[in-house]
Structure 1
Amino acid sequence: MKTMATRLVHYSSSSFPKLLPTAANRRLLSTTSEKVEGSSAQIKEPRDQQKLLVLGGNGFVGSHMCQEALAQGLSVSSLSRSGRASLPDSWAESIVWHQGDLLSPDSLKNVFNGVTSVISCVGGFGSNAHMYDINGSANMHAVTAAAEQGVKRFVYISAADFGLINKLLRGYYDGKRSTEKELMQTFPQSGVILRPGFIHGVRRVGSRNLNLSIIGAPLEKALQHAKILTKIPLVGPLFIPPVSVASVAKVAVRAATDSDFPSGILDVYDIREKGLEKLE
């Protein structure tokens, strides 16, 4: 009789059911990967052969993703509706810029060619219908396109739950959660969701830089150990600490390029913890 390990060799990763990112399932997938000799989980792709696509790379969070990826020696491209726009920074010269609209699948042709991993920072506000389109439909189109083109890992920058605010911005959060569900179904073993709250750092507004850390950094420090307060009914979510854009970018790029990074959802506390870890 064949042993369990021998039988597992005859199954590809696509043969496993799509599991939700629970701790038990992550342990199961991790144990299975260790038993399969020569599995993809054991093969590390050289960083100079990895190609990262940042969706929304000319925005506040997206631009920091691009800079972090370049600092780690990755080949980086970006897709947005305006392309490069008016970014004056020298690092922008090292990015391959694509102009396109995720709500128009025809504009995505060739953008995902050769891409090994994707980070989506696409999102926005407006009417409920508009917010669902931008935060939900657009990102779900990206997930589908990435899977069709053989992208290996997909990281989505979502948002923390803020209780009553979720209801006030229903289209925004419904769109975010719909994308999360689609991502976990399509990339069950290599999809990562980051749920930060308020992200602080230097944000470009027109021709000026706005330093959001003046407010965000002190709040982050004050609330970093106040997790228990977030459980208070109604007002608890107001105690979710801010997180720096540098931490979000560092964790997102690592999640997109490290095959050992576990799939699933990271809240703001997970992001802060992993953002302090040193890269190997």
Structure 2
Amino acid sequence: MSTLLVVGGSGFIGREICRLAVRDGHDVRSVSRRGRPPTDAPWADAVSWTSADLFRPDAWRDRLVGVDVVVHSVGITEEVPGDGVTFERLNGDSAVITALESERAGVETFVFLSSAMKPPGARSAYLTAKRRAEAAIAGLDIALVTLRLGPVYGADQPHFSALVNTGLRLVDSVTPVADRLGEARPLPVEVVARAAYRSALDPDEPLLDVADIRRAGR
């Protein structure tokens, strides 16, 4: 069994990754701003939750001790610059800091949930920050897996309205239409989480695009 640290484990995708790892008997830890998510699901009791500011590694560095795999699943689709919530910081800098700390701690594998596209209406900095993080961590002495996601839908999706979430689900269910979207194809959160989780345990491919994620997450 492995020890996994899911950074952003209380979030939309992170929670599902934690659930899968707990199901399979792994030692699962999470570091996120909110700590434990608001769920009474039994799997959550098996996760060691830590609430900490990712930009203060001294507050959570000890959580990396003995960890085999780190999954970075932090990301925002809307900015609040006055609170320091920007694409540059959350989508980019947080991944670079986490990867550097992981390398220093001797972690074997780092999985980064990146993006294939920016959400409609978002600044181009959304995607620029993800690509900058990819480039910054590429040379680290750690096995690296990057997943470039399209739009992700599912229950409790916090970034889209219920109408948009339903629309993404419908588009994905019509295969001839969805296949034409390429990297913009919607993906269910369960598929994304399974692809990230399996890549964490078996880092075969360094970069997974949307088609790869669909295949790995089946």
Residue range with higher mean Cα deviation, 50-59 or 219-228: 219-228
TM-score (norm 2): 0.86
Q: Which amino acid aligns with 1:275?
A: G
Larger Rg: 1
2:45 equivalent to 1:87 = no
Gap regions ≥5 residues in structure 2: none
Paired residues of 1:198 and 1:243 also in contact (CA < 8 A): yes
Residue matched to 1:198: 151
Partner Cα distance (2:157, 2:6) in 1? 18
2:128 equivalent to 1:174 = yes
- The match for 2:107 among 144, 151, 157 is 151
Equivalent residue runs for 1:17-166 within 5 Å: 48=1, 50-124=2-76, 125-127=78-80, 130-162=86-118, 165=120
How much does 1:223 deviate?
A: 4.9
2:206 equivalent to 1:268 = no
Paired residues of 2:8 and 2:14 also in contact (CA < 8 A): yes
Residue matched to 2:137: 183
Equivalent residue runs for 1:208-223 within 5 Å: 214-223=166-175
Gap regions ≥5 residues in structure 1: 1-47, 231-236
Give the number of aligned pairs.
Answer: 211
Partner Cα distance (1:274, 1:158) in 2? 16
The SS at the match of 2:92 is: helix
Residue matched to 1:34: none
The SS at the match of 1:111 is: helix
TM-score (norm 1): 0.68
CA spacing shift, 1:88–1:255, aligned 2, 3 Å: same
Partner Cα distance (2:129, 2:26) in 1? 30
Paired residues of 1:57 and 1:78 also in contact (CA < 8 A): yes
Paired residues of 2:148 and 2:209 also in contact (CA < 8 A): yes
CA spacing shift, 1:224–1:138, aligned 2, 3 Å: farther
How much does 1:61 deviate?
A: 0.7
How much does 1:213 deviate?
A: 6.2
How much does 1:221 deviate?
A: 3.0
How much does 1:140 deviate?
A: 0.6
Q: Which amino acid aligns with 2:186?
A: P
How much does 1:269 deviate?
A: 0.9
How much does 1:187 deviate?
A: 4.8
Paired residues of 1:184 and 1:264 also in contact (CA < 8 A): no
